[in-house]
């Protein structure tokens, strides 16, 4: 079985959390069933019957335990990203950039962070530059407009934090 990494794994995990829950339940159960049936049949019929030595029962138990450890490692690797949290996909980030830059009320994007809170929930944190002569009311309206554009572009966005700033080119 190939192990998925990077963007592909993130998209699969983000879209198939129900499947991960099934893996969590059926992975150890399926491994346990295989462990009880596969090696048990071969161990009992071939090793014990063929040799009459009861030590093969212990070997079969070790094999079953090893199989369950491998399943636990697989599940830990696959579910690790759900525990830590991952950024939005490249497509989501590009759509958010495009949505923020679509309005004439945002001068530029200073920085942008995204984080999956769940399979269908995305948090967006952005710092945007506004014109220095804007009023608080117009800045608040610009933020509301930007939030609406983001929600329209990426429907799974549930939490948006936008910080306005007056952009200044850093001096060296």
Cα–Cα distances in Å, from 120 out to 16, 154, 168? 10, 11, 36
Delimit the domains of the chain by residue range. 6-84, 90-165
Alpha helices in the chain (DSSP H): 6-15, 17-42, 49-51, 55-84, 90-102, 136-153
pLDDT score at 3: 45
3-state secondary structure 37-49: HHHHHHHHHHHHH
Q: Structure tokens of 132?
A: 């220095």
pLDDT score at 42: 54
User: In CATH, what class is 90-165?
Assistant: alpha beta
Please give the chain's pLDDT, 172 residues, in tens: 444 444 544 454 444 454 555 555 555 555 555 555 554 545 455 666 667 777 777 777 788 888 999 999 988 887 776 656 788 889 999 999 999 999 888 899 999 999 988 878 899 999 999 988 889 999 999 999 999 999 999 999 889 999 999 877 777 6
Which segments of the chain are extended strands (E)? 108-118, 121-129, 157-165
**Residue 68, phi then psi, degrees to nearest 5:** -65, -35
**How far is it, in rounded angstroms, from Cα 75 to Cα 23?**
7
**Residue 115, phi then psi, degrees to nearest 5:** -150, 130
Distance of alpha carbon 12 from its chain centroid, rounded?
8
């Amino acid at each position: 079985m190939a192990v998925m990494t990077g963007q592909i794994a993130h998209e699969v995990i983000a879209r198939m959390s129900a499947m991960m829950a099934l893996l969590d339940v059926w992975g150890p159960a399926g491994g346990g069933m295989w462990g009880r049936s596969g090696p048990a049949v071969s161990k009992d019929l071939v090793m014990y019957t063929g040799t009459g030595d009861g030590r093969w029962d212990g070997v079969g138990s070790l094999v079953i335990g090893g199989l369950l450890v491998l399943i636990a490692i697989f599940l830990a690797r696959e579910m690790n990203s759900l525990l830590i949290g991952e950024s939005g996909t490249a497509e989501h980030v590009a759509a958010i950039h495009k949505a923020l830059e679509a309005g004439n009320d945002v001068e530029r994007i200073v920085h942008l962070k995204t984080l999956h809170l769940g399979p269908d929930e995305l948090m967006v944190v952005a710092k945007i530059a506004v014109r220095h002569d804007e009023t608080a009311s117009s800045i608040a309206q610009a933020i509301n407009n930007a939030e609406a554009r983001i929600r329209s572009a990426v429907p799974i966005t549930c939490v948006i934090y936008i910080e306005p700033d007056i952009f200044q080119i850093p001096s060296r």
